[in-house]
């Protein structure tokens, strides 16, 4: 049995930075520390932080006045910073620098009277944050079906230019398809900024290649993690035996390993720690003999 582990599997730069800095804060004994949303989509890490006193809450309004709040790598909308200031909450801003760049880009486009089309998943926290920097003259396009409405809103805005930006973890393939569709349907100046993070693009590419050459493809990551789900979707297109698991105790892994596969590929989402990847590899090796 051969196990091939993706070189890009696991924490990306932005997540690693957020996790390391959060643990540094804990060493500094910061009191009343909260995290706005899960720091990473990983149960173990969230549980461990809770044990150390870091509570996860989803809304700035729920966080007590005069406390400390961590902004995770996804970033937040401008209103959250304003609200934190009003409540005298100290912000430990761990927004990934690549996301901050998109916020700056969006603000600049808005200032220069561009209508912004944000190609992104509507409910993703990063999208909600970025949308806040785009201002009112903007639309979120998640699927090709949303293009028509976005163009209608652009026409109603009476602006002359369009700027296109993307969620950092969006599918490269889907982004290109949507951009082509916008270009076909509207005749004006369009500034296209492919802001998909390189770490995401490289990981998706490697997943594509790996899933084509193995009999079983295992994706490790949170089932509520967008970038992990995307990796799983890529695998399903190329390998009929693809599974998405959270950890080594997942039933899907236990069942899949009962079949004696010759080649197994392993990939992990951006919020999966190395420890979880190693546990899965150990488990497979022990069962596989
Ligand atoms: S995927 Fe890229 S943009 Fe998103 S947190 Fe990781 S490094 Fe930053």
The yes/no answer on whether domain 98-192 falls in CATH 3.40.1010.20 is yes
Q: How far apart are CA 117 and CA 253, in angstroms?
A: 40
pLDDT digits (tens, 9 = 90+) for 15-26: 999 999 999 998
- Average pLDDT of 261-283? 94
72 has a pLDDT exceeding 70: yes
Q: What is the distance in A from the centroid of ligand 1 to the CA of 184?
A: 30
| Residue 270 Cβ < 6 Å to ligand 1 | yes
Question: Could you give phi then psi for residue 12, rounded to 5 degrees?
Answer: -90, 175
| Residue 33 Cβ < 6 Å to ligand 1 | no
| Residue 168 Cβ < 6 Å to ligand 1 | yes
What is the arrangement of strands in the sheet containing 138-141, beginning at the earlier edge strand? Answer: 138-141, 114-119, 161-166, 189-192
Ligand 1 atom with minimal separation from the 126 CA:
4
Domains 2-10+198-288 and 14-95 share a fold: no
Q: How far apart are CA 133 and CA 106, in angstroms?
A: 6
pLDDT, position 213: 96
pLDDT, position 224: 79
| Residue 118 Cβ < 6 Å to ligand 1 | no
pLDDT, position 289: 52
Q: How far apart are CA 115 and CA 125, in angstroms?
A: 21
Burial 75-104 (b: 16+ CB within 10 A, else e): bbbeebbebbeeeebebbebbbebbeebbe
Structure tokens at 26: 């804990």
pLDDT, position 254: 92
Give me the architecture of the 14-95 domain, per CATH.
3-Layer(aba) Sandwich (3.40)
pLDDT, position 200: 87
**94 band by pLDDT with thresholds 50, 70 and 90:** very high
pLDDT, position 143: 97
**Contact present, 22 and 94 (Cβ < 8 Å):** yes
3-state secondary structure 63-123: CCCCCEEEECCCCCCHHHHHHHHHCCCEEEECCCHHHHHHHHHHHHHHHCCEEEEEECCCC
Q: How far apart are CA 221 and CA 227, in angstroms?
A: 9
Structure tokens at 29: 């004994």
Give me the helix-helix angle, 172-185 and 198-213, nearest 10°.
120
Choose the residue to mutate in 8, 11, 14, 124 for probing ligand 1, maximizing ligand atoms within 8 Å of C-beta: 14
Q: What is the distance in A from the centroid of ligand 1 to the CA of 169?
A: 7
Domain residue extents for the chain = 2-10+198-288, 14-95, 98-192
Give me the architecture of the 2-10+198-288 domain, per CATH.
3-Layer(aba) Sandwich (3.40)
Q: What is the distance in A from the centroid of ligand 1 to the CA of 258?
A: 35
Q: What is the distance in A from the centroid of ligand 1 to the CA of 98?
A: 7
Question: Could you give phi then psi for residue 165, rounded to 5 degrees?
Answer: -130, 170
pLDDT digits (tens, 9 = 90+) for 173-229: 999 999 999 999 999 999 999 999 999 889 999 999 999 999 999 999 988 788 899
Q: In the chain, which residue ranges form alpha helices assigned H by DSSP?
A: 13-27, 43-51, 78-86, 97-111, 125-134, 147-157, 172-185, 198-213, 226-238, 251-257, 274-288
The overall average pLDDT reported for the chain is 94
pTM given for the model = 0.86
Residues annotated as part of the active site: 126
* DSSP 8-state code for residue 10: S
**31 band by pLDDT with thresholds 50, 70 and 90:** confident
pLDDT, position 287: 82
pLDDT, position 179: 98
Give me the helix-helix angle, 172-185 and 147-157, nearest 10°.
50
267 has a pLDDT exceeding 90: yes
Q: How far apart are CA 29 and CA 40, in angstroms?
A: 21
- Average pLDDT of 143-154? 98
30 has a pLDDT exceeding 80: no
The SS3 of residue 270 is coil
**44 band by pLDDT with thresholds 50, 70 and 90:** confident
* DSSP 8-state code for residue 46: H
Q: What is the distance in A from the centroid of ligand 1 to the CA of 72?
A: 11
| Residue 228 Cβ < 6 Å to ligand 1 | no
pLDDT digits (tens, 9 = 90+) for 104-137: 999 999 999 999 999 999 999 999 999 999 999 9
| Residue 99 Cβ < 6 Å to ligand 1 | yes
């Amino acid at each position: 049995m051969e196990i091939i582990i993706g070189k890009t599997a696991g924490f990306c730069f932005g997540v690693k930075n957020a996790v390391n800095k959060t643990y540094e804060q804990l060493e500094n004994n910061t009191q009343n520390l909260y995290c706005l949303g899960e720091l990473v989509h990983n149960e173990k890490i969230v549980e461990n932080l809770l044990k150390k006193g870091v509570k996860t809450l989803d809304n700035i309004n729920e966080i007590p006045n005069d406390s400390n709040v961590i902004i995770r790598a996804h970033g937040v909308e401008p209103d959250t910073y304003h609200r934190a200031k009003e409540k005298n909450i100290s912000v430990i801003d761990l927004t990934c620098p690549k996301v901050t760049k998109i916020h700056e880009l969006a603000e600049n486009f808005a200032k220069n009277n561009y209508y912004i089309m944000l190609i992104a998943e509507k409910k993703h926290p990063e999208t909600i944050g970025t949308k806040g920097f785009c201002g009112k003259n903007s639309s979120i396009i998640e699927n090709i079906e949303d293009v028509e409405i976005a163009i209608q809103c652009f026409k109603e805005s009476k602006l002359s230019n369009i700027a296109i930006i993307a969620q950092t973890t969006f599918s490269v393939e889907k982004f290109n398809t949507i951009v082509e569709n916008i270009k076909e349907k509207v005749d004006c100046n369009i500034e296209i900024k492919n802001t998909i993070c390189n770490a995401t693009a490289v990981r998706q590419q490697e997943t594509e290649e790996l899933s084509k050459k193995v009999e079983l493809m295992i994706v490790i990551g949170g089932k509520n993690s967008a970038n992990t789900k995307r990796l799983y979707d890529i695998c399903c297109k190329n390998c009929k035996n693809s599974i998405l698991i959270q950890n080594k105790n997942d039933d899907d892994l236990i069942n899949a390993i009962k079949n004696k596969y010759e080649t197994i590929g392993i990939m992990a989402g951006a919020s999966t720690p190395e420890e979880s990847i190693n546990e899965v590899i150990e488990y497979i090796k022990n069962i596989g003999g």
